[in-house]
Amino acid sequence: EAGVAQSPRYKIIEKRQSVAFWCNPISGHATLYWYQQILGQGPKLLIQFQNNGVVDDSQLPKDRFSAERLKGVDSTLKIQPAKLEDSAVYLCASSLDGTADQPQHFGDGTRLSIL
Amino acid sequence: GDSVTQMEGPVTLSEEAFLTINCTYTATGYPSLFWYVQYPGEGLQLLLKATKADDKGSNKGFEATYRKETTSFHLEKGSVQVSDSAVYFCALSDTAGRRALTFGSGTRLQVQP
């Protein structure tokens, strides 16, 4: 089966600019996650969707980050305006139904560098 | 809140050496536990999992046992290969709360021929 697809792979922008990332989960997976992975750290959840509804966005910096999953399939994550501290790899993951024992499948990530 | 603590790396071993990477956790409910691996230039991949106490997860020669009494999930392999060089992440998914993964900070393993 095709894996989780993310684009772009790399993005370089200046601070205060905006940027968007795209994710296409594995077909049939109801749950979609966005994680932020800062260099040297483990991934940290930003937002979790169940179909097209938000399950958990408690750790999303809502003053600058937004995400949507309008049709319950693809998702986009946006940052506006970007700060230097947003330099990280943004990972998208999906799972079949979001239950605790179901594995999450990760994309290759988008590496964001803020100048 | 939930947390995962891993031993710091890098861990450098010679080929065929025994590997242990320690992982302990704190959770409010009854979590499922996972080890993910990230090979150079690749995305995170599930290595193994355990969903209840005393379960042993295993894959590719790696093993980890869910120890509720010590809140641990240590990763072991009897004989490492150069191809095992990667970053290993311990993670939990708490059934009592949100089910997204809480990750440790990762342990880099370097295996020398």
pLDDT of residue B18: 97
Instruction: Give the pLDDT score at B97.
Output: 54
Average pLDDT over residues B39-43: 87
What confidence tens digit (pLDDT) does each residue in A12-28 have? 999 999 999 999 999 99
Minimum Cα–Cα distance from A6: chain B residue: B43
Contact A52, A66 (CB under 8 A): no
Smallest CA–CA distance, residue B67 to chain A, in Å, is 17
pLDDT in tens, A31-48: 999 999 999 899 999 999
Query: Which residues in chain A have their CB less than 8 angstroms from residue B102's CB?
Result: 45
Give yes or no for residue B99 having a pLDDT over 80. no
**What mean pLDDT is predicted for residues A51-57?**
91
A100 with B4: Cβ contact below 8 A: no
Q: What is the pLDDT of chain A when averaged over all its residues? A: 93
Per-residue pLDDT, B8: 86
Please name which of A65, A93, A108 lies closest in space to residue B91, comparing C-alpha atoms. Answer: A93
Of A41, A99, A108, nearest to B99 by CB-CB distance is A99
The SS3 call for residue B44 is: strand
- Given a contact cutoff of 8 angstroms between Cβ atoms, the answer to whether B32 and B51 are in contact is yes
Q: Following DSSP, what letter does each residue of B29-80 receive, concatenated?
A: S--EEEEEEE-TTS-EEEEEEE-STT-EEEETTEEEE-BTTTTB--EEESS-
> Under an 8 A CB cutoff, do B105 and A41 touch?
yes
**Residue B109: which H helix or E strand, with range?**
strand B107-112
Please, what is the average pLDDT of chain B? 92
Residue of A nearest to B6 (CA): A42
Residue among B44, B55, B107 with most chain A CBs within 10 A, to mutate: B44
Residues of chain A found within 8 Å of residue B36, distances taken between Cβ atoms: 106
Beta strand pairing call for B11-14 and B107-112: parallel
Residues of B in contact with A3 (CB under 8 A): 43
Chain A to chain B Cβ contacts (< 8 Å): 62
Give the model confidence (pLDDT) of B44-84 as tens digits.
Answer: 999 999 989 999 999 999 999 999 999 999 999 999 999 99
Q: CA A102, A107, A108, A111 torsion: positive or negative? A: negative
CB-based contact B103 A106, cutoff 8 Å:
no
Whether the CB-CB separation of A109 and A6 falls below 8 Å is answered with yes
Q: How far is CA B79 from CA A56, B38, B51, B75, B111, in A?
A: 41, 19, 26, 13, 10
Q: Which of A4, A56, A108 sits opposite B100 (nearest CB)?
A: A56
What is the rounded average pLDDT of the residues A96-105? Answer: 82
